[in-house]
């Protein structure tokens, strides 16, 4: 990993100094790209988005040995809200971002994060790791990912892996004349679908500036796609390409067009595009086991992959705000009934404070 001078404000235990990095993004990203287990969630560009767009505090932590070599990395975001609570997360809105690097460095980074969480009196520290972290923490199993191995050609996926029912569902929107477009210019059409779908789900929507920030910050690593019917966007998705995997991070479809299944064409088109790029794995993103979204993702033939998110709390919390809690379940029911004009104006303000 990258070599940097030892910081005079570092914190040493277990053979590692922990420093708060505030240097150039390319130095951080070089280490991210060189570290096994890293993801697009670890990239430095998220710091600008979390701070400038959402107004959160960020700490990008480095564990370095006594020679000044970086041995581990951990981005942390402090999400504060009088309404929703205080959380220390890696990373909000995303599925990954927990500590990476050597086992000893990860342990030290987690210890440091717990110390910071205790000092800040947060409700919950959650490190959204893809693999179990080598530290004494609680492991949450409330979310899983579904990942599909991609063959070398779309034809092989279509003929050998998809059952007849699935192929029929994909053909339905094609017969209706729907078509898919990809590119950075799809940010606004994507958002038109996304904000309506989030209202229907009862969840405040992230601001458009968040997704514009992704496009500007991450360039070809982020991909936007939209399904059109009669010139209007009816389904849309956005996700990230990292190494040999693509993750569909957000996907939405307008409920009034469910009969024509535009979401099926959306996913198929993304898979075709990823195969053309030589991608080996299609990650459907996180979901709750055995719920409807999980069943939808499993029908494509993917496998379940646990998300062993590491947690620490002094208040017996097991999750960030979710519809599982009675208060938020009631708020979700009310939100679904509000006019779009209201949810589109108020939603982005509330979403900035959600972890």
Q: Each residue of 231-263: pLDDT tens digit? A: 999 999 999 999 999 999 999 999 999 999 999
Collapsed DSSP state (helix, strand, coil) of residue 149: strand
Please check the confidence at residue 276 and state whether its pLDDT lies above 70. Answer: yes
Instruction: Give the Cα separation of 93 and 78 in Å (integer).
Output: 13
Q: Give the Cα separation of 79 and 125 in Å (integer).
A: 10
Say whether pTM exceeds 0.75: yes
Per the structure block, which two tokens stand in for 11?
């914190």
Contacting residues for 179 by C-beta, under 8 A, at least 6 apart: 227, 228
- Residue 319 scores a pLDDT above 90: no
| CB hemisphere CA count around 85 (13 angstroms) | 17
Predicted confidence (pLDDT) at residue 125 exceeds the cutoff of 50: yes
CA angle at 138 for the pair 309 and 206, rounded to the nearest 5°: 35
Task: Please determine, looking at this structure, whether the domain spanning 11-141+309-346 carries the CATH number 3.40.630.30.
Answer: yes
CB-CB neighbours of 93 under 10 Å: 20
The whole-angstrom separation of Cα 331 and Cα 203 is 9
pLDDT: is 7 or 65 the higher one? 65
**Residue 165, class by beta-carbon neighbours within 10 Å (0-12 exposed, 13-18 middle, 19+ buried)?**
exposed
**Residue boundaries of the structural domains of the chain:** 11-141+309-346, 145-306
Regarding the domain with residue range 145-306, which homologous superfamily does it belong to in the CATH classification?
A: Gcn5-related N-acetyltransferase (GNAT) (3.40.630.30)
Query: Which residues, other chains included, contact 38 with Cβ-Cβ below 8 Å and sequence gap of 6+?
Result: 32, 73, 100, 242
d(CA 201, CA 193): 12
Phi-psi region of 279 (alpha: psi -120 to 50; beta: other; left: phi over 0): beta
Q: How far is 150 from 48, CA to CA, in rounded Å?
A: 33
Q: What is the pLDDT of residue 328?
A: 60
Closest CA relative to residue 78, chosen from 113, 38, 42: 113
Q: What is the pLDDT of residue 329?
A: 66
């Amino acid at each position: 990993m990258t070599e940097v001078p030892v910081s005079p404000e570092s914190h040493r235990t277990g053979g590692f100094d922990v420093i708060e990095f505030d240097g150039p993004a390319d130095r951080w990203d070089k280490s991210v790209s060189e570290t096994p287990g890293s993801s697009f969630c670890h990239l430095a560009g998220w710091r600008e988005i979390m701070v400038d767009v959402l107004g959160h505090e960020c700490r990008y932590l480095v564990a370095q040995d006594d020679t000044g070599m970086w041995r581990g990395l951990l981005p942390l975001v402090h999400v504060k809200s009088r309404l929703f609570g205080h959380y220390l997360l890696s990373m909000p809105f995303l599925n990954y971002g927990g500590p990476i690097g050597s086992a000893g460095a990860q342990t030290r980074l987690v210890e440091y994060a717990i110390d910071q969480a205790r000092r800040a009196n947060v409700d919950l520290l959650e490190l959204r790791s893809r693999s179990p972290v080598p530290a004494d923490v609680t492991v949450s199993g409330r979310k899983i990912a579904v990942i599909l191995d991609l063959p070398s050609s779309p034809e092989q996926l279509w003929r050998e892996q998809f059952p007849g029912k699935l192929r029929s569902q994909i053909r339905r929107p094609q017969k209706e004349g729907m078509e898919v477009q990809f590119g950075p210019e799809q940010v606004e059409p994507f958002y038109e679908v996304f904000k309506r779908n989030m209202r229907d789900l009862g969840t405040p929507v992230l601001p458009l500036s968040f997704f514009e920030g992704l496009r500007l910050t991450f360039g070809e690593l982020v991909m936007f796609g939209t399904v059109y019917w009669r010139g209007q966007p009816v389904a849309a998705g956005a996700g990230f390409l990292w190494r040999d995997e693509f993750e569909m991070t957000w996907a939405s479809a307008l409920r009034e067009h469910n009969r024509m299944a535009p979401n099926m064409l959306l996913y198929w088109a993304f898979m075709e595009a990823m195969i053309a790029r030589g991608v080996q794995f299609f990650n459907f993103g996180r979901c709750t086991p055995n719920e409807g979204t999980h069943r939808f993702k499993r029908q494509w033939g993917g496998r379940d992959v646990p998300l062993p998110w590491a947690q620490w709390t002094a208040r017996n919390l097991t999750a960030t705000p979710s519809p599982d809690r009675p208060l938020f379940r009631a708020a979700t029911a009310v939100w679904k009934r509000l006019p779009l004009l209201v949810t589109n104006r108020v939603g982005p303000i509330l979403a900035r404070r959600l972890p």
